[in-house]
Structure 1
Amino acid sequence: MATDMHIFLQFMKSTLLPLPGVTNKMHFEHPAFYVNDKIFANIHEKEELLAIHTIEREKWMALDPHTFFITPHYQNYKYMLVRLETVSPNDLKQLLITAYLARATKKLIKAYEEMKANE
């Protein structure tokens, strides 16, 4: 894994693994993050891309079509691709947390909100 990819994976792990119910395991030979047994983020290391669950992809793609885009494979799914080399850390963190909350159960969301209130 390239150094940059290692840094991105560490950033994602440090952002996501403390969240209630998040697990990290492989998905078709790619590191992925799950909550409630549902995948919400998947790193494609060779292409330096992140496939992320989102219902706001049109907003993101309009904002920066070079960084946020889809391929025909993702056309009918609530995912978009993110170029890791050009995404800002703040946007990446916002996308990750939003994807987590969209896939988490109400119980996990409540635990997340309690965790944030205690920070």
Structure 2
Amino acid sequence: MTPEDVRRIALELPGATEKSHFGKPDFRVRDRVFATLPEDGNAVIKLTRDQQEVMCGAETTVFRPVEGGWGKQGWTRVMLQAADEPTLRSALVAAWRNTAPVTLRKAFDLAGG
């Protein structure tokens, strides 16, 4: 997968917009960041600690906690070259759900997302 795939999938999610976070592209829902594209060609997503543990344990070549305090808050690096589209989409949807307000999440669930 590529940063352009991240952009395409992220912007398909309800209410998602692209902005900039410290000069790097990020993706937000209601102005809250759920994913970023750092310069290294990978992605970083906002997971819960439990989600991070499961994903990093199940897909060790795809997911890694971000180093330091951000990683302890659930921020997780997605190694795009090792990811396939269903895995990337699932991870981005999880990050979006963790960030989106309840009303938007419910509307997305009702629409079959």
Q: TM-score, normalised by structure 2?
A: 0.83
How far apart, in 2, do the equivalents of 1:64 and 1:76 lie?
18
Q: How does 1:53-72 map to 2 (within 5 A)?
A: 53-55=46-48, 56-70=51-65, 71-72=67-68
How far apart, in 2, do the equivalents of 1:73 and 1:87 lie?
25
Does residue 1:19 correspond to 2:17, yes or no? no
**Which has the higher Rg, Structure 1 or Structure 2?**
1
Report the secondary structure of 2:19's partner residue. strand
Residues 66 and 14 (structure 1), Cα distance of their counterparts in 2 relative to 1, 3 Å cut: closer
The unaligned stretches of length 5 or more in structure 1 are: 1-6
Instruction: Give the equivalent residue in structure 1 for 2:41.
Output: 48
How far apart, in 2, do the equivalents of 1:22 and 1:59 lie?
25
Residues 89 and 18 (structure 1), Cα distance of their counterparts in 2 relative to 1, 3 Å cut: closer
Match of 2:28 among 21, 31, 34: 34
How far apart, in 2, do the equivalents of 1:38 and 1:23 lie?
10
Q: How does 1:2-17 map to 2 (within 5 A)?
A: 8-17=2-11
Aligned residues: 110
Between 1 and 2, higher relative CO (CA 8 Å, sep ≥ 6) is seen in 2
Instruction: Give the counterpart letter for 1:109 in structure 2.
Output: R
Report the secondary structure of 1:65's partner residue. coil
Greater alpha carbon shift after TM alignment, 55-64 vs 94-103: 55-64
Does residue 1:106 correspond to 2:99, yes or no? no
Residues 76 and 106 (structure 1), Cα distance of their counterparts in 2 relative to 1, 3 Å cut: same
Q: TM-score, normalised by structure 1?
A: 0.79
Q: 1:68 Cα shift? A: 1.2
How far apart, in 2, do the equivalents of 1:114 and 1:41 lie?
23
Q: Residues 59-96 of structure 1: CA distance to partner in whole angstroms, max 9, x if unpaired?
A: 11112323211222433322111111111211100000
Residues 38 and 80 (structure 1), Cα distance of their counterparts in 2 relative to 1, 3 Å cut: same
